[in-house]
Amino acid sequence: MNFDYPEGATPLDPDEAQGLLLSHITTRAELDRWEQENITEAEVWAFRRTPRDILTDGFIKRLHKRMFGQVWRWAGEYRTTGKNIGVPAWQIATELRTLCADTAAWLEHGSYLPDEIAVRFHHRLTVIHPFPNGNGRHARMMTDILLVHLLNQPRFTWGGGNLVDAGECRRQYINALRAADRHDYGPLLEFVRT
Task: Judge whether residue 11 has pLDDT over 80.
Answer: no
Task: Judge whether residue 15 has pLDDT over 80.
Answer: no
Q: What are phi and psi of 23, to 5 degrees?
A: -70, -15
For 31-85, what is each residue's pLDDT tens digit? 889 999 999 999 999 999 999 899 999 999 999 999 999 999 999 999 999 998 9
Q: What is the mean pLDDT of residues 123-146?
A: 97
Q: What is the mean pLDDT of residues 184-189?
A: 98
Band the pLDDT of 3: cuts 50, 70, 90. Answer: low
Task: Judge whether residue 13 has pLDDT over 80.
Answer: no
- Lowest mean pLDDT across 19-23, 141-145, 188-192: 19-23
CB distance 142 to 51 below 8 Å? no
What is the CATH number assigned to the segment(s) 14-156? 1.10.3290.10
- Average pLDDT over the chain, rounded to whole? 93
Q: Distances in Å between the alpha carbon of 18 and those of 30, 73, 82?
A: 16, 9, 17
| Residue of 99, 72, 64 whose CA lies nearest to 17 | 72
| CA–CA gap between residue 42 and residue 27 (Å, rounded) | 23
